[in-house]
Amino acid sequence: MIDLRSDTVTKPTKGMLEAMMSADVGDDVYKEDPTAIKLENHIAEMFGMDEALYFPTGSMANQAAIKLHTQPGEQLICDKYAHVYHYEGGGVSFNSGVSCKLLDGDRGKITASQVEAAINPPDFYHSPLTTLVTLENTTNKGGGACYDLNTIKEIKEVCNKHGLGLHLDGARLWNALVATGQDPKEYGQLFDTISVCLSKGLGAPMGTVLCGKSSLMKNAMRVRKVLGGGMRQIGYMCAAGLYAVENHIDRLKEDHHKAQELKEVLQKMSFVKKVEPVETNIIIFEVKDQNEFMTFCKAKKMIISNMGEGKMRFVTHYDYDSLQHREVINNLIEFNSIS
C-alpha cells in the first residue's frame, strides 16, 4: 500500500523507538515526568515563549488555547477553512461556548483588513464580543499554504489595537518554517499561544505542544485536566516527540521536494483539470472523472483523500519513500495514457 492520505500515517523509526524505550519517566499529573518537562522546555525555548505544555492531540491543544483566551458568549475570528471550526467536532462551542466569525480567505489565509472589518464593536452589546483571532500555518484545507511574516505582523497590529488575543494553530508550522526559512522566535514574538504537532510530518506517534505567554499558560494545566488530558508516564511519548524535533525537521524539505515533483507531473496530465499551488507537502488537484481515478488508485494500491467535487489530495511524508514516489509517478503517467 502507498498511503498518501496524510502525514499522520507514519510509524516510529528505529531511532525514535530506542529513544522511547530509554526514556526517563514520572507521573506528569504531579508534573514529575522529566522527559515531558524537557520537551516542554525545549519547545518553549525554540519559540522564545514563557511556557509550554504537552497535549495528546492537536485538537485538545487548540481547544485549550481557545478556552484560555475566551469567555462563554464571545466570538473568535478565523478563516472559513480553519481546522478549529471544521475538524474539532464543534469543540469551540462545546468547550468554550464561543462562536466563530468565518472569513473568506485565500487558501486558508486571512488578512489584517479582513480581520479588522470582522471585529464587532465592543460597545454594541447586541453582538458577541470579539476577543480572539486564530490563524493556521500551514493551512490544512487550504492546501499547505504558508503565511508571510508581514501579513502576520499586520494582523498582530490589529489585535493589539483592539485588545484581541492571537493564537496560531501550528499543526504544520514545521513545514512552513522549513519552506520559508522563517525563525520560530519571530512566531513567539507575534502570537500569544502556538500549538505545534509532533505526530504529523515529524513522525511521532502522538502529541502536540502548546506554548505561550505565562499570563495565559498559568491556567493550561487546569484546562487540560478539565478536557480529560491529565496523563501519567507520558515521557515515553515525549521522548518520541523530542527525537522528532531534534531529527526530523530538516528532512521535511524532502517531503516538499516530492510534492513539487508530483505537482509538476500532475500539471502535464490531461485527466487533471487543475492543480492548486504547492508550497509544502500537500497537493490538492482536480480530476475530470473522480470515480475512474479513485478506482484506478485502488487497483494500484494507492490510498488517497477524496475531498469531494472532483478534488483529490496527496500528502507526502516520512514513510513515503523514493521507491513509492517513482511508482506513483509511473502510475499517474499510466492512468493518463488509458483515461
Ligand X SMILES: *Cc1c(COP(=O)(O)O)cnc(C)c1O
Q: Summarize as ranges the residues that interact with ligand X (CB under 6 A).
A: 57-59, 62, 83, 136, 140, 169, 171-172, 197, 200, 208
The least CB distance from residue 276 to ligand X, in Å, is: 16
> For 135, which DSSP code?
E
Nearer to ligand X among residue 74 and residue 136 (C-beta): 136
Nearer to ligand X among residue 307 and residue 329 (C-beta): 307
The least CB distance from residue 85 to ligand X, in Å, is: 10
**Cα torsion for 142, 172, 11, 333, to the nearest 10°?**
40
The least CB distance from residue 168 to ligand X, in Å, is: 10
- Under 8 Å CB-to-CB from 206, ≥6 apart: which residues? 56, 57, 198, 199, 237, 240
- CA dist 235 and 225 (Å) reads 17
Nearer to ligand X among residue 156 and residue 313 (C-beta): 313
Cα atoms in the Cβ-side hemisphere of radius 13 Å centred on 18: 3
- CA dist 109 and 128 (Å) reads 23
Nearer to ligand X among residue 35 and residue 62 (C-beta): 62
The least CB distance from residue 61 to ligand X, in Å, is: 8
The least CB distance from residue 84 to ligand X, in Å, is: 7
- CA dist 82 and 76 (Å) reads 11
CA 305, 90, 124, 69 dihedral sign is negative
- CA dist 17 and 205 (Å) reads 10
Give the Å distances, CA to CA, from 55 to 207, 260, 299.
6, 32, 38
- CA dist 147 and 136 (Å) reads 9
**What pairing do the DSSP bridges indicate for beta strands 208-212 and 51-55?**
antiparallel
The least CB distance from residue 171 to ligand X, in Å, is: 3
Nearer to ligand X among residue 55 and residue 236 (C-beta): 55
The least CB distance from residue 172 to ligand X, in Å, is: 6
Nearer to ligand X among residue 119 and residue 206 (C-beta): 206
Nearer to ligand X among residue 67 and residue 200 (C-beta): 200
Residue nearest to ligand X (CB): 58
